[in-house]
Structure 1
Amino acid sequence: MSKEFLPVVDENDSVVGKVLRDECHKKGLLHRSVHIFIFNSKGDLLLQMRSKKMDLYPGFFTSSASGHVSYGETYQEAAEKELAEELGADIKLELFGKYNISSEWDNHFVSLFVGHSDGPFNPDASEVEFVKFCPIPEIKRLMEKEKFSPNFKACFENYIEGNKGALQ
């Protein structure tokens, strides 16, 4: 596997440097990530169970797809790449919002993209244990008893907040 370089950004999300992914996390440097929510025709959200072999949040539920924005890459390019890599999918994505999220391992700007598809999907077994569609109320219940990545939780809360009145 080649070394992954991430753009280091300032509080305005302007690139100010370039660093290896591991160093970025170790030092808590501000960088960029993407999360993708895929909804089916019933309005259910596709959840991903991260592979138990992942270095961050193994075996946790998370967004349909997610990942870092590599140095020289746009948020949109990163979202399309992660969707293809993790789910074997090519789906039209729209930017929903951008948030500054900090968690135990990450200090980053996250762009949340939304797309619609009933599948089929071809998850990459090295990154994904399984995927499943869940209604929004069920996800809220699952979040009380299952492990979810902190970044998913933040994106989900922002998504719900941005759709108040439109969701149950």
Structure 2
Amino acid sequence: MTELVVLLDPHGSAIGTAAKSEVHHAETPLHLAFSCYVVDDDGRLLMTRRAAHKRTFPGVWTNSFCGHPAPGEALDEAVVRRGRQELGLDVGSVRLVLPGFRYRAEQDGVVEHEMCPVFVATATGAPEPDPAEVDDVRAVPWATLHDGARQGSWPELSPWCVEQVAQLAVHGDPARWPTGDPSALPPAARLSL
């Protein structure tokens, strides 16, 4: 089955779909995605290193996982689905924290161009990452991630993660990240939140 992503106009309304396998290239169209930060039982954030063979940003460290909602799929449901697929984790307490996050980044001629609401979630147990998606997982305190992103000392941290951490830093520890306003989501993402 072909995995589809939702294409967006500049205001975040859906204007069509495209195959995920074909959407990322030098002229990647704006599309809908999400990022999630998973907090473990000890209050640490799970960080992942993207698989070295991925088309976009291979081998870089980033937030716990990212993904694309299917056409008609609610973002919170997509987060739960992707947590299972990518990390082998059942995530709970999924909460929107940055509803309006969007970015454009390029590496080696391949562009990411997304409206990408950011979530935080909890999980119990150890991750069992899919090697097609993830090369490594590390649980780190918020201060380690924050300082590494701010000072540029974390090796090969994804540009979207650096931007997200900067926006979340004003709130401190993830336990204090406020819930984002669902009305600030891109229109295409306002299905059930």
Whether TM-score is above 0.5 comes out as: yes
Q: Who is 2:47 aligned against?
A: 47
Deviations 1:92-148 (A, max 9, x none): 111112212121212211111111234221111221112111112222343423001
Structure 2 residue 8 is matched with structure 1 residue 9: yes
Q: Say which SS state the counterpart of residue 116 (structure 2) adopts.
A: strand
- The residue that corresponds to 2:141 in the other structure is 135
Residue identity in the other structure for 2:169: I
Counterparts of 1:54-65 in structure 2, within 5 Å, are 54-65=54-65
Residue of structure 2 in register with 1:94 after alignment: 95
Alpha-carbon offset, residue 15 of structure 1: 0.7
What do the CA deviations read for 1:69-106 (whole angstroms, capped 9, x no partner)? 23332222221111010111111111112212121212
Deviates more, 1:100-109 or 1:69-78: 69-78
TM-score normalised by structure 2 residue count: 0.76
Alignment partners' CA distance in 1, 2:21 and 2:134: 21
Q: State whether structure 2 residue 69 is matched by structure 1 residue 69.
A: yes
| Letter matched to residue 167 of structure 2 | N
Give the whole-Å Cα distance in 2 for the aligned partners of 1:74 and 1:116. Answer: 18
Deviating above 3 A after TM superposition, structure 1's stretches of 4 or more consecutive aligned residues are 140-143, 164-167
1: CA distance, partners of 2:5 / 2:147: 35
SS at match of 2:33: strand
RMSD, matched Cα: 2.1
TM-score normalised per structure 1 = 0.86
Q: Secondary structure at the match of 2:24?
A: helix
State whether residues 38 and 120 of structure 2, in contact with CA within 8 Å, keep that contact through their aligned partners in structure 1. Answer: yes
CA apart distance, 1:22: 4.8
Task: Kindly state the Cα deviation for residue 23 of structure 1 after the two structures are TM-superposed.
Answer: 4.4
Q: Distance in 2 between matches of 1:15 and 1:86?
A: 25
Contact kept? 2:95, 2:120, Cα under 8 Å: yes
Q: What is the CA–CA distance in structure 2 between the aligned matches of 1:23 and 1:117, rounded to whole Å?
A: 32
Identity %: 24
Q: Which residue of 1 aligns with 2:132?
A: 126
Shift of 1:8: 0.9
CA distance in structure 2 between the aligned counterparts of 1:88 and 1:40, rounded to whole angstroms: 14
What's 2:35 paired with?
A: 35
